[in-house]
């Protein structure tokens, strides 16, 4: 198994390489993937994905009810869990067939993880937490690792907090540290599980803007499990998972009649998101005078674009 040359050497592909690579080989592809769990004598179907293709540089939200299989999907793509059947292609390799040693290498070198509860080590400072992935890799000298960690903390606007421990940081600041740590290994894929779920709404908006900016400026692929409509409003594409299946996608256009017959739960989920977005717009308009003009206009525009997409999907 070999990484594509530009990934193996740690370089970003040229635009031409990116186009050729994306057309022939998406960064993530799932085919006939299932995940089953056994609870006593009962077998539970957690995931059933026929085909899924994620292009390099995408910014995708994964939404669905609790227990629908969102986190299971993310864990399988990240090599934290193994599918019962099927192919999981990441970076051109079927990770479903990898040994645990090679999976650990994949996670260490090519994937960044962002979690809801930050998962920072409380006895380490912010910069030491960010450096940690490089400690395990051993590819950089101590000075090189420290310099990269400093640059990343500056990127997430925490240059003045790099020597603070987690308990000395707010929830939003801890999440910024976690984002910087996820980027430390220059990953081709960033997986985030409810990254705004443990912070307040205003800080959550800042985190969403930060991740989107990193996606656009660094061409890193983001897959984000979320219930947050702000993330959905910023996403290029939203995958809706219901009962372990992808019920619909905001990129696919209107829901077809056959989808309506087999995916009523997905339609209800989209309708629920529409209601949530409209309520969010109402709240934003009520607090217009308290918000920076640029932030207000950008957020309102994102929400309105998302509502138009969802309305088109439902054909209403």
Pair 237, 58: CB distance under 8 Å: yes
Q: What was the pLDDT predicted at 261? A: 40
Gap between the Cα atoms of 55 and 19, Å rounded: 10
Its pTM surpasses 0.85: no
SS3 of residue 294 by DSSP: helix
Gap between the Cα atoms of 253 and 237, Å rounded: 11
Q: What was the pLDDT predicted at 21? A: 43
In a domain, 134, yes or no: yes
Neighbours of 95 (CB within 10 A): 23
Pair 120, 171: CB distance under 8 Å: no
> How far, in whole angstroms, is CA 41 from its chain's centroid?
34
Q: What was the pLDDT predicted at 15? A: 42
- 226: nearest Cα among 28, 113, 47, 64: 64
Give the DSSP H/E element, type plus range, for residue 45. Answer: strand 42-54
Q: What was the pLDDT predicted at 167? A: 93
Gap between the Cα atoms of 144 and 141, Å rounded: 5
Gap between the Cα atoms of 199 and 201, Å rounded: 7
Q: What was the pLDDT predicted at 20? A: 40
Q: What was the pLDDT predicted at 290? A: 66
301 contacts: CB under 8 Å, gap ≥ 6: none
Mark the ranges of the chain whose per-residue pLDDT is less than 50: 1-24, 252-263
Q: The domain containing residue 236 runs over which residues?
A: 56-67+99-252
In a domain, 181, yes or no: yes
Burial class of 121 by CB neighbour count within 10 A (0 to 12, 13 to 18, 19+): exposed
In a domain, 164, yes or no: yes
Residue ranges of E strands in 132-260: 189-193, 221-225, 237-242, 245-249
CATH number reported for the structural domain that contains residue 113 in this entry: 3.40.50.300
Domain count within the chain:
1
In a domain, 63, yes or no: yes
In a domain, 311, yes or no: no
Compute the C-alpha angle 284/234/181, nearest 5°. Answer: 110
In a domain, 72, yes or no: no
In a domain, 133, yes or no: yes
> How far, in whole angstroms, is CA 107 from its chain's centroid?
15
In a domain, 266, yes or no: no
Gap between the Cα atoms of 161 and 147, Å rounded: 15
**What are 270's two structure tokens?**
């989209």
């Amino acid at each position: 198994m070999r990484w594509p040359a530009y990934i193996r050497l740690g370089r970003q592909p040229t635009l031409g390489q990116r186009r050729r690579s994306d057309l022939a080989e998406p960064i993530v592809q799932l085919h006939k993937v299932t995940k089953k769990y056994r609870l006593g004598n009962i077998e539970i179907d957690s995931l059933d994905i026929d085909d899924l293709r994620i292009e390099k540089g995408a910014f995708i939200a994964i939404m669905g009810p609790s227990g629908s299989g969102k986190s299971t999907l993310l864990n399988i793509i990240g090599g934290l869990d193994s599918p019962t059947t099927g192919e999981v292609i990441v970076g051109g390799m079927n990770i479903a067939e990898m040994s645990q040693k090679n999976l650990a290498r994949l996670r260490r070198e090519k994937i960044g993880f962002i979690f809801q509860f930050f998962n920072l080590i409380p006895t380490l400072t912010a910069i030491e937490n960010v450096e940690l992935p490089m400690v395990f890799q051993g590819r950089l000298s101590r000075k090189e690792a420290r310099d990269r960690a400093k640059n990343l903390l500056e990127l997430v606007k925490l240059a003045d907090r790099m020597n603070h421990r987690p308990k000395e940081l707010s929830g939003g600041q801890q999440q910024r540290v976690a984002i910087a740590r996820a980027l430390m290994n220059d990953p081709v894929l960033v997986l985030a599980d409810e990254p705004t779920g443990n912070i307040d709404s205003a800080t959550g908006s800042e985190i969403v803007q930060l991740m989107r900016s990193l996606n656009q400026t660094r061409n890193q692929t983001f897959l984000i499990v979320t219930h947050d409509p702000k993330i959905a409003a910023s996403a290029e594409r939203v995958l809706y998972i219901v009962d372990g299946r992808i019920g619909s996608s905001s990129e696919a256009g209107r829901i077809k009649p056959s989808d309506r017959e087999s995916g009523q739960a997905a339609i209800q989920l989209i309708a629920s998101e529409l209601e949530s977005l409209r309520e969010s717009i109402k709240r934003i308009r009520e607090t217009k005078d308290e918000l920076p003009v640029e932030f207000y206009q950008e957020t309102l525009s994102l929400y309105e674009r998302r509502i138009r997409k969802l309305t088109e999907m439902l054909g209403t």
